[in-house]
A and B are shown apart, each in its own frame.
Chain A
Amino acid sequence: MNNIIDPQWAWSEYKANDESPWNIRSAAHLYRRAGFGATHQELEIATGKDPVAVVDEIFAAKEPSSFLSEMKSLADGAIASGNVRQLSAWWSYRMLHTPAQLLEKITLFWHGHFATSAEKVTQAKLMLTQNELLRSFAIGDFSELVMKVSHDPAMLIYLDSATNRKAHPNENFAREIMELFCLGEGNYTENDIRELARCFTGWEIRRDEFRFNPYQHDAGNKIIFGQTGEFSGEDGVKLVLDQKATPEFVVSKLIRFFVMDEPVADEALVAPLAKQFRSDGMSIEPVLKRILKSNLFFSSYSTGRKVRSPVELAIGLLRCLEGSTNTFALAEAMQTLGQGLMYPPSVKGWDGGRTWINSSTLLGRSNLIRSLITGENTRFGKQSLQDYFVSKKLYSSRSIIDYMEAVAFAVPISNQAKDRIELLMKPDSQSSLAEGFHALCTLPEFQLG
């Protein structure tokens, strides 16, 4: 594959063609990336529409007030218990059942971007507040999102920035906002960090709320990115956001998350979107829409070119089969595989890509699939897996394999693999079906999303 991609072609709006047709497989690809997957019925409906219109529909999907009320009730239960693990289960439930899949997917993206872990921020209420903040601004104004996150108690506690005093400015947050949130490495100097840290002096968290302590604020002149002024913390954030590198950094991450792990998008590929991002006032929705409507997204550069994260693997499998399960166990299993919701491993979030796969995670993924298939609380369309396939009129193992290939596999399954699975899978026996289905979902092809 040619790793030099023509940006003009890449970001032009996709139109179905022989090389990249619009069919069930490409619709499944869209729903996997812009959410966590879709059922066969949803995909069939989508293929009857224009793909660009489908993307617009995905963006327009709203959560009805009844759903929002249910989610609030569930979250309140987690807060009442004081148990952050219950919050992880809550979010898993939300991902499984929300009609606004893209919103949850990009909230997950921001959770990895503005990584904050409940290992350190043990108060469930603070973690929930941050999660809701990320959701509110998920496809909104990135500048506002950064500003809000800068004042978020969970973030500042996580970065040991709950106090920042004039005499000893805390450089943690200053470093992370530049390195991890907005600019990336190499786009600032150590002096910029020191001066930006001075801007944030006086920022405190008291009684779980942000407050500004003027007595501890260094109101003197600072020089940041070559600019001089008596910058406040908010001014400092704006200076960072105004840097040329900011839209480039954010867009690169969006491309990596939604389009492809490899190759890394080069400057030329990023530039047009970065420019648009800036000209749209740092609004995320337009640039994300362009990504999801693009030729590049629907091309072989993107299809099957990402390793599924544990969340995508588990939630994706359940969603495409109308599954439901014990979300406590699900959240715990995903954490075992390295992607605990509310528990990113470090301030850098999750590295993703090939790092999801190693000898122990492969075994873990197999165990996760098995526990999902055989779990006593797992149902597919409110029934057993066997009954679900019967209800879809899938009576033979070959028909089940083909069905799954269409809705859940990003790349085709080889005929040899299909033959092997067919031998294992006897649909008239629950245990044999489970064995065969487990073998199907632990194929190397299934690890790609």
Chain B
Amino acid sequence: MLGLFNETLPLRAEELTASHVMPDSTIAFVAIEQPTAVIATLFDHPLITRIQNTEGYEKATSTDDYRNFLTGIKFFETQIGSPWRPAIEALTAKGVYAGFDKTTEGAVLLVRGKDEATMENFRVKILELTRLNGGESAKPKNYRDLVTYRVGDGGAVVLRDWLVVSNKGELGKVVLDRLLDTNAASSADAIAGTLSANTAFGTASKDRDANSDVWAFVDVETIRDAGVAAKALEGKAENPLVELLFGGIQSMLRQTPYATASLVLSPSQVSAKISTPSQADWIPAERNYYFGTNFSGVAPTIPAIPETMLTIGAYRDISQMWLHGSDLFDERVNDELAKAESGLSTIFAGRDFAEDILGSLDPQIAAIVTRQSFADVKPTPALKLPAFALLMKLRDPETMRPELRRTFQSAVGFFNIVGAQNGQPQLEMDMRKETGFDLVTSRYLAEKKDQDSDTASIHFNFSPSVSFAGDQFVLASTETLATQLAQATIAKSDATVNTSMVLNATVAKDVLTDNREQLISQNMLEEGNTRDEAAAAIALFLELVQCFKGAELSLDAQGDSLELNMTLDIDE
């Protein structure tokens, strides 16, 4: 459907596809080949019934606004003589396509319906509807014996089983000419000057996933040459976290010719992929911290811990990122890094923070967030936060262990002094050797009168701890998590992704439920709702969260393309 044909034979009208009629200066292209399937996936999904049975949905659909919306739909259906869904399905039966053209700076929408009769019927009904609504009347004009309807600079026309809508007349004419001129000697002649003949588009189309419900192509090179997003692409990072997350992608976008995106919808999953060609020599030296040399950097395997809500694993050589700060960051960030480095070097007894301390860490870093159980914990904080930890590997554990242990002790002392000045609880430290690992822990001490409290302060979510197991170093917000990670077995993995993120929606929902009262209070104060209204709103929110099982995101730089994959798993 995207232009696979015999070049020597003439191209018949019914063989024409959207890419055959859009100009080769099209810099963005989106295709929904089977809209009927997409509509079915969305509107026949079991989730719809679940949502419709919620109290929140009942309330939302009993408002005047919704009733007015339904009245509008009914009116539309009466006018077109059909329920909306079959009408839309017939109108879009053979696909919906959109494009943006650089030459005319115009956008075009191509809708291919079931057949010519369907499109003609649609044209008549829409004209009638527009007239009844007293809308701006489209001026009919003749173009090559076709009746086109001009509105401002753009317009619309129905030709055979195609509906063509554009906001720029010139672009509309180019597309119409292609649709009308089907008498070229060969297909190659027919597609010359069209998007199908665009080399980058052709290459991208070949790699397209046949199962994708929505597919998009973007001519990044042309956009880049036009100076669009120059600052984002060329500028230095203003935020270290943004650099850590997107720095490598920015380097790629500076060089890549194009990018594609695809979306696959199924009842149990929504998955999206964004892909762009990649080459190792496109990555400057200062960004090798991100991918590793020749894209060799791989995210670590993260151990399975009960009640894990979120894991993030990535290959990032933070030491190299810090050392190349002057190449990567703007002046302000560099000043902040310099100040931080000075302070941190003092805390680490004069060692160079970037080279000695960060440099002692292996680039494979993981973060993990887990739900905490407060069942047997007193005092219990009113706001129940999840626990979180960073997992790292030490390049030289024998040297770094005592260093990190001492630094942790200093940090606890510092927190206690600052805490005492602000009337906050104090941390008590402990150290122990377990089989296979060492633990250094701290926990907040409650006043006697608060020891059985169920509404303790936020501090009681934390028992900052570090654990050392072989070359593994864990910095955790709780002793429990530090212990779990130290004891966990890490399975070998063949994964080759550079960055991965996994979210468990079921656990996330449990964390939110743990804090239901807080969420209700927040809703009351933010929305001005009564308690009952707030409780209903939060119940609906939790119900919606429960509709999802989880989400995953991965960045894969192996091979000759950079791929960002995202999946959302739905609880049918």
Contacts and interface: CB of A to CB of B under 8 A. Distances in A.
B521 A325 contact: no
Contacts of A122: 422
Q: Which of B458, B524, B526, B530 has the most CB of A within 10 A?
A: B524
Contacts of B447: 207
A74 B525 CA distance: 8
A84 to B, nearest CB: 13
Interface string A63-88: 00000001001101111111000100
A81 B522 CA distance: 11
Interface in A59-113: 70, 73-74, 76-82, 86, 89-90, 93, 96-97
Contact of A79 (B64, B382, B517): B382
Nearest to A126: B423
Contacts of B383: 77, 80-81
A74 B528 CA distance: 12
Contacts of A207: 423, 447
B457 interface: yes
B423 A77 contact: no
Contacts of A79: 382, 455, 457
B202 interface: no
Interface in A274-302: none
Q: Is the interface of A mostly helix, strand, loop or mixed?
A: helix
Contacts of B423: 123, 207-208
Nearest to B521: A77
Contact of A377 (B381, B455, B527): B527
A388 to B, nearest CB: 13
Contacts of B518: 77, 80-81
Interface string B454-482: 01011000000000000000000000000
Nearest to B383: A80
A245 to B, nearest CB: 36
A326 B422 contact: no
A74 B524 contact: yes
Contacts of B381: 80
A90 B529 contact: no
A76 B455 contact: yes
Given A79-B455, A80-B381, A207-B447, A378 B528 contact: yes
B139 interface: no
Contacts of A175: none
A379 interface: yes
A65 to B, nearest CB: 13
Contacts of B530: 97
A375 B452 CA distance: 42
A328 B529 contact: no
B528 A379 contact: yes
A327 B525 contact: yes
A77 B523 CA distance: 11
A438 to B, nearest CB: 19
B457 A93 contact: no
Contacts of B422: 122-123
B531 interface: yes
A387 B524 CA distance: 22
B525 A387 contact: no
B389 to A, nearest CB: 23
A328 B525 contact: yes
A309 interface: no
A80 B525 contact: no
Contacts of B526: 326-328, 377
A80 B528 contact: no
B408 to A, nearest CB: 24
A378 B526 CA distance: 10
B528 A81 contact: no
A80 B64 contact: no
Contacts of A78: 521
Given A76-B382, A123-B423, A326-B528, A82 B517 contact: no
Given A77-B517, A89-B525, A325-B528, 20 more contacts: A74-B521, A74-B525, A79-B382, A80-B382, A80-B455, A80-B518, A82-B457, A93-B528, A97-B530, A207-B423, A207-B447, A323-B528, A324-B528, A324-B529, A326-B525, A327-B525, A328-B526, A377-B528, A379-B528, A387-B64
Instruction: Across the A-B interface, give the 10 residue pairs with the lowest CB-CB distance, nearest first.
Output: A324-B528, A80-B382, A77-B521, A80-B383, A89-B525, A325-B528, A327-B525, A74-B521, A70-B531, A326-B526
